Amino acid sequence: MSGEKKPIIQLRDIVKTFYIGQPNELEILHGIDLDVYEGEFVAIVGESGSGKSTLMNIVGALDKPTQGSYWLDGIDMTAAKDSELSALRCRKIGFVFQTFNLIGRTSALKNVELPMLYNGIGAAKRTARAKELLELVGMEKRMNHQPNELSGGQKQRVAIARAMANDPAVLLADEPTGALDSATGRVVMDLFHKLHKEQGKTILLITHSRELAAECERIITIRDGCITGEVKGGMAQ
């Protein structure tokens, strides 16, 4: 139907159990249902150990649920073979981690080019897009610097440019400001707002910060592996 928003992420009855040696198993997620719509900026909050990263790993196709179904941008991710998942991850998901996870001993530019290299994009196009993205995040003057020559906030801006490289369906950010002081965290959060507003990016943000979560459109609370609350944030109309 026209005017209706398209769900980008659809999770149904997601259960995740970890086997910690026979006969013990630990059920961490107990039947999560969640829809995230195209262009939404959603925060996931919850106490330490509540299952946020476990859920993110499933959404990011880094891990499979024990039970339930997961559709990403119209693709049944639970039916995808392991051999297909890495290509899907590369094209559909942009990851931003607390600890940046940039490749050392290579430039910011090459770091941003890397996901495009994996995606089979030619050298000239890769470099041009990486430069554009570094400009978008205000890092064009540092494109030849290696990660160890950058501040934490600068590293995170490069990591965000890298996450955007293949124009993913969704940006997954797991505590992206967790290793930054509050002023630098503010710059990074403003960058997510910019990508959301100007590029219409769908963003799923895990944060411990209730203040940052309150800036998003929707705030989902996870407690002991269940979604226990959902409220509109400051950005919601």
Q: What is the CA radius of gyration of the chain?
A: 18
C-alpha distance from residue 77 to each of 10, 26, 74, 93, 187 (Å): 10, 23, 9, 12, 33
Cβ 28 to ligand ATP shortest distance, Å: 4
Q: Which is nearer to ligand ATP, 23 or 122 (CB)?
A: 23
Cβ 8 to ligand ATP shortest distance, Å: 21
Is 229 a binding residue for ligand ATP by CB under 6 A? The answer is no
Task: Count CB neighbours of 8 within 10 A.
Answer: 20
- Per DSSP bridges, beta strands 170-174 and 7-19 are unpaired
**Binds ligand ATP by CB under 6 A, chosen from 5, 6, 13, 18:** 18
Residues contacting ligand ATP: total by CB under 6 A: 12
- Residues between 34 and 93 with contacts to ligand ATP, criterion CB under 6 A: 46, 48-54
Q: Which is nearer to ligand ATP, 26 or 87 (CB)?
A: 26
Cβ 47 to ligand ATP shortest distance, Å: 7
Cβ 42 to ligand ATP shortest distance, Å: 16
Q: 53, 31 in Cβ contact below 8 A? A: no
Q: In the structure encoding, which two tokens stand for residue 19, read together?
A: 């086997």
Is 177 a binding residue for ligand ATP by CB under 6 A? The answer is no
Q: Which is nearer to ligand ATP, 48 or 237 (CB)?
A: 48
Using left for φ > 0, alpha for ψ between -120 and 50, and beta otherwise, residue 13 falls in left
Cβ 180 to ligand ATP shortest distance, Å: 16
Q: 142, 154 in Cβ contact below 8 A? A: yes
Query: Measuring CA to CA, which residue among 50, 30, 52, 51 is closest to residue 42?
Result: 52
Q: Which is nearer to ligand ATP, 57 or 119 (CB)?
A: 57
Q: Which is nearer to ligand ATP, 154 or 221 (CB)?
A: 221
CA dist 108 and 83 (Å) reads 29
Task: Give the chain's largest Cα–Cα span.
Answer: 56
CA dist 132 and 100 (Å) reads 20
Q: Which is nearer to ligand ATP, 22 or 48 (CB)?
A: 48
Is 166 a binding residue for ligand ATP by CB under 6 A? The answer is no
Interface positions with ligand ATP (CB under 6 A): 18, 20, 26, 28, 46, 48-54
